[in-house]
Each structure stands twice: as C-alpha cells, then as structure tokens.
C-alpha cells in the first residue's frame, strides 16, 4: 500500500487518530509522552483551551514526522546538507502549521479542529502565512485538508497566490472565499493526473457535495484541472451559462452545442473545460490562450473542427492527449508561433509514439509560416495530413481604363478563388466595388471592373481564398495599387 493512501480519506484519518502506527505499544506510549512533555514545556504554542483532540494531534505529529515531512529535498543554497525544519505546530483551534522562522514563512498543513467556520489567517504568531504545505511522493500528491468533517465555510485571508490540491471531498463545505491575491489553482505537478481524478491536475475543491457559494477574485489567471468538479456551484453555473467564465478563465463549456466561439476576454482555459462534451461540433479560437490545463477536449465525441483565427499566437490544447474521434479539420493561422503549434498538439513535446489515431486529422496552414516549417520538419507532425492554404497573389497588375480598371495576375495553385476590393480611400473604409473570381468557373486570370467614375482616384488590392467545408479562408492581401480612371 502506498504511503499516500494512509492519509487521503476520512476513514483513514479516523483510524490514525485512534489507533497506533507501531506494533510496539510501549514505544508508542513513550513517543506520546515525549510529545506531551513538549506541549507542557511550551515548545508547541497552544492555549490551555483546545479546540481539537490532543490524542489526534499527537498521532498526527507522529505520522507527519514519518511520512509527511520532506526533509530530503529541503536544502540551503550554501549548505548541501539537509536543514532541520522548525517543529510542526498547532493553534488553539486546531490549525496545524509549519513555520520557517528563519525565512519569515509559514505554511498551513492541516486542520483537526471541530469548528464550522475555518479561517486561514494572514499570519500565525506574527509569521506571515505564505501557502498550503504539500509534498509529493513518487508523483503522487499527499493532500492535507481533504475530508474535513465539520467545516461549512472556509475563508482564506492569507495572501496566497496558488491553491493546490487541498479541500477535496469535504462533506459539509458550503462556502469558500478567496483573497484577491489568488491567481491560479495548480497542483505543482505540471498537470500530472491523480489515479482517482476525472482529468488533469488540480482537484482543489472537487467532490464537495454541498459547495454552493464560491467567491473567486477577478485576478484569477489559471485553473489547471477540474478544481470544482462535481460541486453544486459548478453544476448550477453550467446549467445557467453555456460558457462558464471566471475572470479571464474559461472554466467550463461542457454543455455547449454546435459551433462555439471563444468569448472575448478569455485568455486562459481550465483543464477539463470541455471534457465529455457531446454537442460541440466546432470551436473558433479568437485570441491567444496563454496557459491551459490538460485534457481540455477529452471525450468530445462530436468535435469535428477547430478554427484558430489569424492573430492568435498560441492555443495550448494538448490535442494529442485528448480522445476526439471525429476531429478532421484544424486551421492554423500565420500568426501561430512554433512553440504555440507544439503546445496545440502535445504540450510542447514533438516526439510521439502512437500516431495512428491522428491519421484522419488534416491541418491547414499557410506557406512560409512557422506551421509550414514545423509540419514539414523532422518532427512527428508527418503523421498528420496537411494542406497548404493559399499564399499571397504574385504579379498583380492594375491598369486604369476609361471608366474601368483592368487587373491581371498569376494563378495560385492552392487557391479556390480570388477576391478584389476597390475603394476611394487607402484604408478601404469606402469600398465601391467588391468582386470574387472562382477559379473553378474561369481559368482566366484577368478581370475588368466597369462603372467607375472618370477622373476619379481608386485604390485596389486582391487576396486569395480557399474554401474548406463551405467556409472561405483568405490569404494575405497584395500591396495596394493607386490608379486614376480616365
């Protein structure tokens, strides 16, 4: 049995509180006596009136000293030998904390009190509370606040920036309030999946069956994983809002259908944001996504197309980690960076083993862009089908005539057609003529636009387009030509 499993459930915590870890009962009694002596001597700062069970506290200290403290990784930069931590302590109401007075830091570790309202204070005994203590063993995270049996409201006053995997499966928790310093929910394992989680990374308040009120500050930037999975708060938001947005984070879109357009202002996506969505057929990405959790599109059984609009530099969706059986079309704009394209498919790692399930994917990209170079490089992107979107028209000439303009150009093999715009101003706010030439209808790369005013100055430009699934994707415009009709 892994050491983690000795402390991640309420049942195990209960056993820990009332039973011995050691087979030798006399040795355990000696340990408890020594710890009790420490309490009475003032080494551990607690009041006489305690809001917790003393035996549970002694048992917890013993457990933490054996399995919870991570001294092996606790080094000073100038001293290669492990430092000795300050002793684990407890407040009079049962909040266990780990001070590091040398650095003026303090981490809250666990709560064994019996109060209904739990406050994580800004400081304890004059030391600033800087975060929640967690540690990892063989890539499994040990959680320290799970299954709190009595807590109904949680108020975090400490100026923490990150909320890790902490208050999972608290049976009575109804309300949580965060400080305005919180910017992320992150597990510290780069999205590693817990063996019992529905998806990626941080599961901070998941499976809290009564959690209905959550006050998240607008400063939030990232939620790596299903931090509120299976809570009444998120379930209610999903029923009311097809796209649940908190701050700049798209928290959930699991109930969306058809074509979904990313809302304005969203620059982050939570892990599991669209997980198990059965109705979304296309996603349009309108702006750069700076950071995301994993498994965003896992089991999106109807998703056929992802369109990323020009101007977007990155969209870290990790598509190669997701089960998207009907995905066929991925539109990559010229603006996507090489790093952004790698993150789009596999979170930055270009070397993949299994490529068979991507055989039906077709990536559309523009010639001469980072996508062109990357998709045709040594990387495993070769497993994708790829099609070049039309490049800019070359040798575009414009000749003024009497009441008309003639245009000639060289054909572009990847284009389905061409679009011409004629305006009376260089910014093309006042367009007087707009014309599309379907290459399939006419192979003649010549066009004459009539009905223009004589002695009038006009501005002319052209761009190519390619039609995919009934939608036109345009290349870049040619340079603007200025002519005067006679």
The torsion defined by the Cα of 192, 197, 202 and 204, in degrees rounded to 10, comes to -160
Residue 271 and residue 254: Cα distance in Å, rounded? Answer: 12
Cβ 296 vs Cβ 322: under 8 Å: yes
Residue 413 confidence (pLDDT):
79
Cβ 353 vs Cβ 365: under 8 Å: no
Question: pTM for the whole thing?
Answer: 0.69
Find residue 472's DSSP bridge partners. 467
Q: How many residues does the chain have?
A: 486
Residue 220 confidence (pLDDT):
83
Find residue 386's DSSP bridge partners. 363
> What is the mean pLDDT for each group of 10 consecutive residues in the chain (486 residues)?
31 32 35 37 44 90 75 45 68 92 87 94 92 66 78 95 87 95 68 37 84 88 77 93 90 93 88 90 93 81 94 88 88 90 68 61 86 74 72 84 91 86 94 85 74 93 87 86 93
List Cβ neighbours of 52 (8 Å cut-off, separation of 6 or more).
Answer: 90, 93, 94, 112, 113, 114
Cβ 290 vs Cβ 267: under 8 Å: yes
3-state secondary structure of 441: coil
Find residue 431's DSSP bridge partners. 423
Residue 382 confidence (pLDDT):
52
Cβ 450 vs Cβ 439: under 8 Å: no
8-state DSSP, 250:
E
The backbone torsions φ and ψ at residue 314, rounded to the nearest 5 degrees and listed phi first, read -150, 150
The torsion defined by the Cα of 156, 160, 163 and 167, in degrees rounded to 10, comes to -30
Residue 343 confidence (pLDDT):
85
Residue 440 confidence (pLDDT):
58
Tell me the CA end-to-end span of the chain in Å, nearest whole number. Answer: 90
The backbone torsions φ and ψ at residue 398, rounded to the nearest 5 degrees and listed phi first, read -130, 130
């Amino acid at each position: 049995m892994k050491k983690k499993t000795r402390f991640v459930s309420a049942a195990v915590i209960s056993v820990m509180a009332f039973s011995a870890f050691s087979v030798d009962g006399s040795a355990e009694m000696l340990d408890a006596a020594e710890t009790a002596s420490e309490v009475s001597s003032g080494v551990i700062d607690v009041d006489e009136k305690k809001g917790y069970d003393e035996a549970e506290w002694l048992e917890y200290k013993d457990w933490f000293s054996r399995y919870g403290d991570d001294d092996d990784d606790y080094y000073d930069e100038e001293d290669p030998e492990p430092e000795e931590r300050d002793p684990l302590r407890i407040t009079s109401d049962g909040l266990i904390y780990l001070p590091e007075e040398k650095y003026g830091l303090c981490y809250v570790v666990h709560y064994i009190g019996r109060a209904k309202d739990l406050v994580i204070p800004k400081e304890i005994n004059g030391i600033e509370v800087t975060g929640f203590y967690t540690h990892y063993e063989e890539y499994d995270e040990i959680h320290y606040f799970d299954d709190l049996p009595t807590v109904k409201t949680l108020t975090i006053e400490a100026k923490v920036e990150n909320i890790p995997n902490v208050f999972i499966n608290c049976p009575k928790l109804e309300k949580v309030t965060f400080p305005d310093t919180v910017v992320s929910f992150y597990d510290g394992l780069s999205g590693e999946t817990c063996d019992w989680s529905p998806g990626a990374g941080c599961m901070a308040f998941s499976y809290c069956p009564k959690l209905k009120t959550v006050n998240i500050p607008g400063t939030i930037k990232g939620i790596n994983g299903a931090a509120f999975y299976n809570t009444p708060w998120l379930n209610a938001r999903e029923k009311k809002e097809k796209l649940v947005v908190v701050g700049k984070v798209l928290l959930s879109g699991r109930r969306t259908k058809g074509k979904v357009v990313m809302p304005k202002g969203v620059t982050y996506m939570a892990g599991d944001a669209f997980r198990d969505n059965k109705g979304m057929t296309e996603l349009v990405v309108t702006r750069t996504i700076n950071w995301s959790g994993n498994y965003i599109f896992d089991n999106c059984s109807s998703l056929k197309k992802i369109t990323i609009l020009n101007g977007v530099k990155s969209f870290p969706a990790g598509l190669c980690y997701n089960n998207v059986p009907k995905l066929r079309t991925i539109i990559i704009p010229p603006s996507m960076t090489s790093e952004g394209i790698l993150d789009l498919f596999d979170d930055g790692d270009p070397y993949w083993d299994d490529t068979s399930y991507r055989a039906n994917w077709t990536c559309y990209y523009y010639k001469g862009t980072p996508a062109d170079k990357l998709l045709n490089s040594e990387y495993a992107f070769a497993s994708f089908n790829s099609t070049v979107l039309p490049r800019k028209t070359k040798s575009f000439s414009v000749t003024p005539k009497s009441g008309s303009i003639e245009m000639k150009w060289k054909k572009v093999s990847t284009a389905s057609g061409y679009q011409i715009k004629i305006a009376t101003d260089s910014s093309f706010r006042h367009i007087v003529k707009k014309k599309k030439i379907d290459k399939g209808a006419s192979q003649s790369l010549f066009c004459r636009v009539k009905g223009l005013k004589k002695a009038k100055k006009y501005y002319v430009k052209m761009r190519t387009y390619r039609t995919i699934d009934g939608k036109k994707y345009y290349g870049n415009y040619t340079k603007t030509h200025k002519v005067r009709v006679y």
